[in-house]
Structure 1
């Protein structure tokens, strides 16, 4: 389900979209789009005048009426096709989810025993036991045990994730599989209310809510339609006064050409495609409003751990104590880490490589690796020559050395405390009864984060980092990452306070989180992105869920939201400019015979009034399908100021919206005029 794992369109999606284009001709459905409803009403009227010309006195213009009808029908169908195409991609994703949703046998705890029941019989509050190789029968929280869970059926990622009781990684999803160990799960949803059920309903887009901006644009389009309807109606008596005969099909054609049919036909598709686009990035948006709001974000609140930094403590420096050499500290640190597969152990070897230090891995060959245990708080290796190497918490290593009669360096405590005050973690390294030095572990900033925050700054978005670290450590990380502000030693209420403060200034705020303590802030934020690996409370409070549990993905979500707004703005600009061009194409050609002075406005030199109307109508019909790929894919977003963005849109889509119709209508008129 990743961004690069899906084709934009498939044959099945296109075929189903064509069928849905005809189904959507239902007037009840069309009324939701006032602009296209007017076009459909005009299509029906022209059809009646074509089929029953005797009732309308249009026997002499049946051919023209038929041509107008076919062009209008083509226009409506392609507008419906654009919307159906966008919906079809969501439905295709829903179908793939439905395949993963099947009845699973559940080991339900009843009293003191375990009874096997169908997953459909489970209710909220039931307790189930899930062992290695078994499917998790429903959404729930791990209340006992720890296990690796394969969530590829939901996220598309093959790497299993660790789920354990308590904390922020206790939430499990029905339909995922336990890879190792055994867990006890408390079911948190009734049948039909699971996370997959909600995903299916959301990606199908059946209940997509219109956003405030979309409602405002709909209102504008409706107003323009009413205005041009009045204009066209008043043209009939004006034309009669000038002894110019304008038939009903001509007036309907004129109306369809002048109202904003281009954006009217693509508006729904743009909104649906915006929701679909975040789904392509494995982000589930609860509504179109959430996607659009992300495009207007002014402030972004981000947790430090896991978002800005890796979240794993990594070796950053070797610090000698007791007069020892730095190289000796580095060498014994590496020897103790040769067989250590923890992130800390691997980071020691990576630091050695980064600093171009050398050591002999052969020293550790054949040695017995001592795993880290909560009781000892140390790990290490017992070498074949009898020497014992240990690394771990300073106090634990100190006690271990003292039991062997070793002396403690006088500067050990001071240097260890200095690391701790900076927010780092000191690990002592010892060989037998001698401590050589310390490994400075710290949470490091992810590569490229500074550049990404620079990009957000260009978008006009302020970034605020929240962390439980002390102010000194927080300032260091904030400086390295390039965020605009930070909150040190932050608590849940601090996050809500900063969100409310920003909102009080009229700003829209986005936030990421995964824990129960993040739920209030996620609910308060205008865009709340919860991690799928997080708690049920966090996912229910947010209006977006990241199935990959990548907190930094909020940056992509913001870019998609801005792309949605840009696409709508660009196509609206193009559509209005289009209408201006068509106005100057049709009106002068229609009235030139009665008002010779209007020849000056007939810059396109169209063949005749009828050919100009048909040419404009044909152009109007074909421009919608030509713009469908742009509406689906979206206008490429480039970070820039609002002023530059407006200038760019006006230049490309405003100027293009005027030039393209002039060229297109003229070329079509050359062909149409030959047949009239």
Structure 2
């Protein structure tokens, strides 16, 4: 269940000064027809704005550096022969302060109004103190100007923010990438069979569109004519081409192969797969996590530490060491700059953005970040059986022959000839198992029992075991005892009212389930199953998959109780199901995972939604959660750890040995921490390549 306190992510992470730069704001923020264009343009304008302010301020800093007494003295240059140079310094620095420093000044007022002092407060205080004091010196107050420190600090901070915004844009590009999957136009079929090109947002459910070879499917729908292979890798993470034909569903954005398809439009607009995915990606990026809450608190305390450290530094140098005010002020400003939690504000958002984008590419979506972060500590995973561990559809598992003149292939072909006329799921499974189904004539249903037809001149019946027993048909019961005991569905094939054989059908276990269970157990996680099927079926599946524990004959409304039972054992558990009849269990679990979502991804009770019907993706969720934790800790260390030595260094504890940091050097150290945090987040890789 997603957090209900979504706010602009930049405001939450202390970047109050970002809002509205370059006239961006959030107007027109994300419409489905535009596929998130408002969000993208807002970030793009912010990047351009910081870039422009950086270059303008950098250009103006050059004459400030040339005229700066401190830099000239450091370089061994004499006083410049420039009349009124302090007024020139003041003029250039004023432009830098108000133009280059405006984002920080604006952010300062926003933080103060919210009573949430943070990074912007520290930067604004530092540059205001430097500018105000230097301006007074320019107009006659005895002292030393800080215009070079002011200019260099603003330039470095603008550079850091520019790098940050570029990183955020790059990391949070999942929505924009998804939006690109939808073509702008579609070939809509008219009543006379001709086509007309229309905007995709003009399509309505029930319209029919033509998808030519190599084109992207314009919207979700069902194939009414044609056969082709489609590439759905960008949507589902599945790299293999998927064969599709009449009656199959297609997802908007999939790339058509060599065949032409006629598609009946299903879901459009907000209901379409792409738009639901985009909403979930956006939701995930805005979802506030426990880790971010910790970072916010750390930033607030760093602000208080900075103010306190600055004040103590000023008092100690003025009173205990009897230093001049200008020296004490420089130490104070440097301390405040060093302690700025800029990198801390960036540490978690970048990891969140990268993890969210990677998850989307892997084929699953994080709807609630806190349970996702918990999943690294999972001790048990409960799977619903039907449709999760199994395919949820019948398939032939065994063929038993009673008549010595009959072989398995012929038996299956004769049964398939009869069932080819049937719409029953069992019939379809038999047909799919046949290599060469025969031709059937005089097809007739046997209500509640099966069907019959004439095949190769013989009367062939495909019926239930009850029918065979009721009719007194003789057969070798020993041959089917084990199959019946395993809970498999048995259909008998009668040829001219004699038992020719028996076909056993079962809900087939997914190949991926075996790998998923094995990997989860290797990770030290108990794997369990919940099913409404009888005990015999549950026993067979559990044995085949080597499950830790399982619950059989559980009604849908009782599944949540089984989750509670597992939690009562002291185990942190995840529930993995289809998200519909498993909703109470998904909500009860520590982590709710909806699997096999297909084109209906918005399962309200799930914390994580898997697009593919692949239980192996649960392993990826846990691995990515562990990667998320590792990168979060690393970034928090890089964002805050340097303060342990940087604050004392800035305060001047090594002054006796001639080591002093000026404000510009402090800004450089702090910005270096920011860059390291950004690079560390960008180095996050998928679980397979990690």
Deviation at 1:457, TM superposition (A): 3.9
- 2:119 aligned residue (7, 19, 36): 36
Cα deviation, residue 310, structure 1: 3.4
Query: Equivalent of 1:254, from 335, 338, 344?
Result: 335
1:529 to 594, 601, 606: 594
Structure 1 counterpart SS, 2:550? strand
Distance apart, 1:629 and its partner CA: 3.7
- 1:487: Cα distance to partner? 1.6
Deviation, structure 1 residue 424: 1.5
Distance change in 2, residues 1:183/1:82 (3 Å): closer
What is aligned with 1:608? 659
Q: Say if 2:538 is the partner of 1:474.
A: yes
* Alignment partners' CA distance in 1, 2:559 and 2:246: 26
Q: Distance in 2 between matches of 1:420 and 1:21?
A: 72
Change (3 A) 1:298 1:105: farther
Q: Which segment drifts farther, 441-450 or 466-475?
A: 441-450
Q: Is the 8 A contact 2:104 2:124 kept in 1?
A: no
SS of 1:558's equivalent? Answer: helix
Aligned twin of 1:627? 677
Secondary structure in 2 aligned to 1:591? Answer: coil
Q: 1-side partners of 2:454 and 2:674: how far apart?
A: 70
Confirm or deny: 8 A CA contact 1:68 1:249 kept in the other structure: no
1:487-543, Cα deviation, whole Å (9 max, x unpaired): 21222112222234455677654333336423333444443425434769x724434
**Partners of 1:148 and 1:504 in 2: how far apart?**
51
Alignment of 1:310-325 (within 5 A): 310-321=391-402, 324=404
- The answer to whether the 8 A contact 1:82-1:266 is kept is no
Contact 1:309 1:443 in 2 (8 A): yes
State the distance in 2 between where 1:507 and 1:84 align.
39
Q: Taking structure 1 as reference, are residues 474 and 369 closer, same or farther at Cα in structure 2, changes over 3 Å only? A: same
Supply the distance in 2 between the matched residues of 1:137 and 1:481 (Cα, whole angstroms).
40
Equivalent residue runs for 1:414-563 within 5 Å = 415-416=479-480, 418-428=482-492, 435-447=499-511, 449-457=513-521, 459=523, 461-502=525-566, 509-514=573-578, 516-525=580-589, 526-529=591-594, 531-533=596-598, 539-550=603-614, 552-563=616-627
Contact 1:371 1:380 in 2 (8 A): yes
Alignment equivalent of 2:163, drawn from 78, 86, 93: 78
Report deviation, 1:208: 1.0
Residue 291 of structure 2 is matched in structure 1 by 213
Partner of 1:236: 314
Contact 1:465–1:487 (CA under 8 A) maintained in structure 2: yes
Cα separation, 1, equivalents of 2:442 and 2:527? 38
CA distance in 1 between partners of 2:611 and 2:389 (Å) = 19
**Deviations for 1:400-434, whole angstroms, at most 9, x for unmatched residues?**
9x9xxxx944424x543542331223344566676
Call closer, same or farther: CA 1:202–1:320 in 2, change over 3 Å. closer
Secondary structure of residue in 1 paired with 2:388: coil
Q: C-alpha separation between the residues in 1 aligned to 2:186 and 2:270?
A: 12
| Aligned position for 2:176 | 92
Distance 1:62 1:222, change over 3 A: same
Of 58-67 and 14-23, more deviation after overlay is shown by 14-23
**Mapped contact 1:329–1:437 kept (Cα < 8 A):** no
Unaligned runs of 5+ in 1: 1-10, 108-116, 350-363, 600-606, 639-676
Q: Provide, for residues 422-457 of structure 1, a one-character-per-residue CA deviation record: whole Å limited to 9, x for no partner.
A: 122334456667645434443443335344334334
8 Å contact from structure 1 (residues 369, 380) kept in 2 = no
Query: d(CA) in 1 for partners of 2:390 and 2:245?
Result: 20
* Alpha-carbon shift at residue 610 of structure 1 (Å): 3.3
CA–CA separation in structure 2 for the residues paired with 1:534 and 1:495 = 25
The answer to whether the 8 A contact 1:83-1:266 is kept is no
Taking a change above 3 Å as real, the CA distance of residues 575 and 136 of structure 1, as seen in their structure-2 partners, is: closer
Aligned-pair CA distance for 1:567: 1.5
Tell me, in whole angstroms, the C-alpha distance in 2 between the residues paired with 1:533 and 1:556: 18
The answer as to whether partners of 2:592 and 2:606 remain within 8 angstroms in 1 is yes
8 Å contact from structure 2 (residues 597, 611) kept in 1: yes
**Aligned counterpart, 2:305:** 227
Report if aligned partners of 1:566, 1:635 keep a CA contact under 8 Å in 2.
Answer: no
Deviation at 1:39, TM superposition (A): 4.7
Q: Rate the CA distance shift 1:201–1:419 in 2: closer, same or farther, 3 A.
A: closer
* 1:329-349 per-position Cα deviation (integer Å, ceiling 9, x unaligned): 445457669999966566678
Residue 645 (structure 1) aligns with: none
* Alpha-carbon offset, residue 568 of structure 1: 0.8
- Change in Cα spacing, 1:66 to 1:58, as seen in structure 2 (3 Å) is farther
Counterpart for residue 54 of structure 1: 138
Number of positions where the alignment pairs a residue of Structure 1 with one of Structure 2: 560
Post-superposition offset of 1:474? 0.9
Secondary structure at 1:217 match in 2: helix
Matched with 1:19 is: 48
Superposition pairs for residues 105-184 of structure 1, below 5 Å? 159=242
Q: 1:231 deviation in Å? A: 2.1
Show the counterpart of 1:353: none
Q: Identify the residue that residue 656 of structure 1 maps to in structure 2.
A: none
Q: What's the CA shift string for 1:214-250, capped at 9, x where partnerless?
A: 2133213322332243123211111222244545454
Alpha-carbon distance between aligned partners in 2 of 1:368 and 1:548, rounded to the nearest angstrom: 35
What SS does the aligned partner of 2:506 have?
Answer: strand
Conserved in 2, the CA contact under 8 Å of 1:68 and 1:253?
Answer: no
The CA RMSD measured in Å over matched residues stands at: 5.4
Q: Structure 1 pair 40/617, CA: closer, same or farther in 2 (3 Å)?
A: closer
Question: What's the CA shift for 1:257?
Answer: 2.7
- Alignment gaps of 5+ in structure 2: 1-39, 54-101, 191-197, 421-426
SS in 1 for 2:387: coil
Kept in 1, the 8 Å contact 2:291–2:632? The answer is no
1:44 and 1:371 map into 2 onto residues whose CA distance is 92
Q: Is the 8 A contact 1:35 1:264 kept in 2?
A: no
The correspondence of residues 652-663 of structure 1 with structure 2, limited to 5 A, is none
CA deviation after TM superposition for structure 1 residue 572, in Å: 1.7
Conserved 8 A contact 1:333-1:391: no
Name the CA distance, whole Å, in 1 between partners of 2:592 and 2:443.
Answer: 41
Contact preservation (8 Å) 1:273, 1:633: no
With over 3 angstroms needed to count, the CA separation of the structure-2 counterparts of 1:90 and 1:44, relative to structure 1, is farther
Tell me, yes or no, if the aligned pair for 1:315 and 1:348 is still in contact at 8 Å: no
